[in-house]
Structure 1
């Protein structure tokens, strides 16, 4: 059961929503969602591309506000839709002013919605785009720790900018490899779930200097709003949980994750 719902906290320091899907939100008008996000001091929002069908939609969304940004990439679920034309579209727009990363890319062996060999090939091809365009990467990895590590090893020297393994639910082996290589780990509402002690264990081992906050909205709504559609304005609950789990002052978590987000996605801003 969800805990008693309470008001969304508002922090004095701004926060950055590093991973959501604005084009998937359905429960309220987008303008209302963005306005409510501003009211809880969300300074920037990154909306994430996942398929050939929403590459252009994400680019359009990144233009609706000067503080909304996007990515370009194909999720492993959609790997079998990847082709030369899609690759050219991602390459063409990877360095657009409002596009801050290549993603969401990676491997998903839990749902296996695409052939695994195809997933690996598409992951490699998009990592190469990130290398060529000097963009950070947003990675999805589920039940694919070993192959994720092996593929990332191939790009250790050529990928100059790291990025994030988002919605981290993998094991400590992948976490430690990623941290050693300078990647960030992204945490969201899963950290508040009763049965997610394995994720909280990874939060504990992750330096605060390598943690990014995200919602993955409309998915993974944090306690105390589970059961409702997720939205960027619930991000403060994630920050609170990270502070609790790591035994750090909330202000330190907010300030440091903000700096981490700037360093990763907005190094020249």
Structure 2
């Protein structure tokens, strides 16, 4: 394969990568990964995220407050995000959304912060990275209500929800991002939902250091492992791995329009 993949969602500022960051990046390239996006989860630690993105042209980042952090750092308005989004390395807003599985933050605070992130996306034109767990109806109700006020773009990251959510998200122009979850034997319903998503609306990601795909289960995840997810997605969609790489990378740049494609690493030499 000589078409570069993009790991559209990872957390390179996490301590799991601090001791061997150069090795992590090198292994990603050797696995065919030409770009990575390190995702913000707290404003209080964003400078670490930004510092990681500054280490290489092919690493970008996003800024946002994860729903787990909405109780302490949740936003009531989009102003801070709008101001920060002028940074050239910031190509998206989030991750934000709703997590009713853990309920680490009050649900009202999660919903308020989610709407503030959406407002920032509408104002800046940057896409929204959505985290949703056990909150399909509320997540889509908010996205649809806000979309009716004015359009914005985004992606359902680490898709692990129902076919209903996927189809509702597609109707407002969102993308669906597949993580290592689609490689799990227990993920038959998720695989079936992904099978019905058009190829032109799919992305791939690791969510590293979490959710390592088969055959790397039990190990800390890293961007190089997105190749395993791409291979499983190719199987699900009945196309070649190169088709998946080409489509998901094209889709990434269609959604994340601020990312500069000239920084996508070329892999032809590595593929020889």
TM-score normalised by structure 1 residue count: 0.91
2:13 is aligned with 1:13: no
Query: Runs of at least 4 residues of structure 1 off by over 6 A?
Result: none
Contact 1:25 1:217 in 2 (8 A): no
Match of 1:141 among 132, 140, 151: 132
Classify 1:128/1:34 alpha carbon distance in 2 versus 1 (closer, same or farther; 3 Å). same
Which stretch shifts more, 53-62 or 11-20?
Answer: 53-62
Partner of 2:164: 173
The alpha-carbon deviation at position 116 of structure 1 amounts to: 0.6
Question: Secondary structure of the residue that 1:186 maps to in structure 2?
Answer: strand
- Which residue in the other structure is 1:60 paired with? 51
What is the CA–CA distance in structure 2 between the aligned matches of 1:215 and 1:25, rounded to whole Å? Answer: 16
* Counterpart Cα distance in 1 of 2:175 and 2:60: 19
Structure 2 residue ranges without an equivalent (≥5): 261-272
Instruction: Specify the alignment match of 1:191 in structure 2.
Output: 182
**Are the structure 2 counterparts of residues 44 and 144 from structure 1 closer, same or farther at C-alpha, using a change threshold of 3 Å?**
same
**2:141 & 2:39 partners in 1: Cα distance?**
25
Given that 1:52 and 1:81 are in contact with CA atoms closer than 8 Å, whether structure 2 keeps it comes out as no
Contact 1:130 1:159 in 2 (8 A): no
In the alignment, structure 1 segments of 5+ residues that lack a partner are 1-10
Note the alpha carbon deviations across 1:11-56, whole angstroms, 9 max, x for none: 2111111000001252651111011111222111100000133212
C-alpha deviation, 1:267, in angstroms? 5.6
* Cα separation, 2, equivalents of 1:33 and 1:253: 23
Does residue 250 in structure 1 map to residue 238 in structure 2?
no
* Contact persistence 1:213–1:239 (CA under 8 A): yes
Paired positions, count: 259
Q: Whole-Å Cα distance in 1 between the matches of residues 92 and 241 of structure 2?
A: 28
Report the secondary structure of 2:213's partner residue: coil
Q: For the residues of structure 2 that align with 1:208 and 1:111, how far apart are their CA atoms?
A: 32
Q: Residues 96 and 163 (structure 1 numbering): CA distance in 2 closer, same or farther, change over 3 Å?
A: same
Pairing partner for 2:29 from 38, 52, 57? 38
Q: Which has the higher contact order (CA 8 A, sep 6+)?
A: 2
